Structure 1
């Protein structure tokens, strides 16, 4: 059975070769520019997390996310250069440091690191989905679809680890008035 994402990807790739390459419209430029910024700034956050945590599972997730951000960022960086779009300014890379040398009042907990990574992953997925819906050029929509699917796959593994460790932040449950509760 074909999933909706596979169908969308197939449709976009089918029309990719026959589509004329019009200039990017301002929405596509802005979406690409913002996504590159999201990837670059997430990389900085991940570097801080790597300099803070000593937990093997956290470090593994951060490494995986860092590689993904780097690959996706480079994909958009190359694309914007080809299209003649100036690249966004971003924060400076962080040097490696010893996690045990970070003062406790400054050091993020593993829970904080992973919840921050989770929020950044959700923001990237949401941005990709919104961008796909606004794209006129199929090549741009395909890039965002690919990135969204990669982020969703990573997000699923991140959620599993966070659930296993008790780090997921769950909003209060909502019980509509008059609905039966589990206590009844």
Structure 2
């Protein structure tokens, strides 16, 4: 049985093969520019988290996320360079440091690190969905759809780990007026 993702990929590939390559429109450029910024700034946050935590499971998921952010950022940077678009300025990478040397008043907790990573992952997914829907060129839409599916897959494993640790922040439950009580 064909999955939705495989069907979407096949549809986009057919369209990519025959599509004329018009110049990127300003929205596509801005979407790419912003996504590189999101990935590079998330990488800095992750590096800070790696410099803060001593938890092996947190370190593993941070390293997985850092690798994904760096890969996606490089993919979009290569595309933009090929298109002749300058790259956004982003923060400098952080050097490695000893997590035990970080003063407690400035040290992020593992809960804070994972919730920050979760927020950044959700923001990336939403941005990819929006950019993919707004893209005129199929190669741009496909690139954002691919990044979105990668982030969604990572987000599922992040959510499982956060749920297991009790770190998911749940808003108050909504009980509509007149709803039957259980």
What interval of TM-score do these two structures reach, taking the shorter chain for normalisation? over 0.9
Query: 1:175 touches 1:181 (CA, 8 Å); kept in 2?
Result: no
1:56 matches 2:75: no
Bigger shift: residues 7-16 or 139-148 = 7-16
Q: 4+ residue stretches of structure 1 with deviation over 4 A? A: none
Structure 1 partner of 2:38:
38
TM-score by length of 2: 0.98
Deviation sequence 1:31-80 (CA, Å, 0-9, x none): 00000000000000000000000000100000000000000000000000
Q: How far apart, CA to CA, are the structure 2 residues paired with 1:176 and 1:102?
A: 46
Deviation sequence 1:132-174 (CA, Å, 0-9, x none): 1100111111110110000000000000000000000011111
Q: How far apart, CA to CA, are the structure 1 residues paired with 2:132 and 2:16?
A: 14
Query: 1:33 touches 1:87 (CA, 8 Å); kept in 2?
Result: yes
Query: 1:52 touches 1:108 (CA, 8 Å); kept in 2?
Result: yes
Name the SS for the 1:17 alignment partner. Answer: helix
Structure 2 partner of 1:156:
156
RMSD, aligned CA: 0.9
TM-score by length of 1: 0.97
Q: How far apart, CA to CA, are the structure 1 residues paired with 2:54 and 2:28?
A: 40
Count how many residue pairs are aligned between Structure 1 and Structure 2: 182
Structure 2 partner of 1:172:
172
Gaps of 5+ in 1: none
Structure 2 partner of 1:181:
181
Q: How far apart, CA to CA, are the structure 1 residues paired with 2:56 and 2:181?
A: 40
Q: Alpha-carbon deviation of 1:8? A: 2.3
Q: Alpha-carbon deviation of 1:175? A: 0.8
Name the SS for the 2:22 alignment partner. Answer: coil
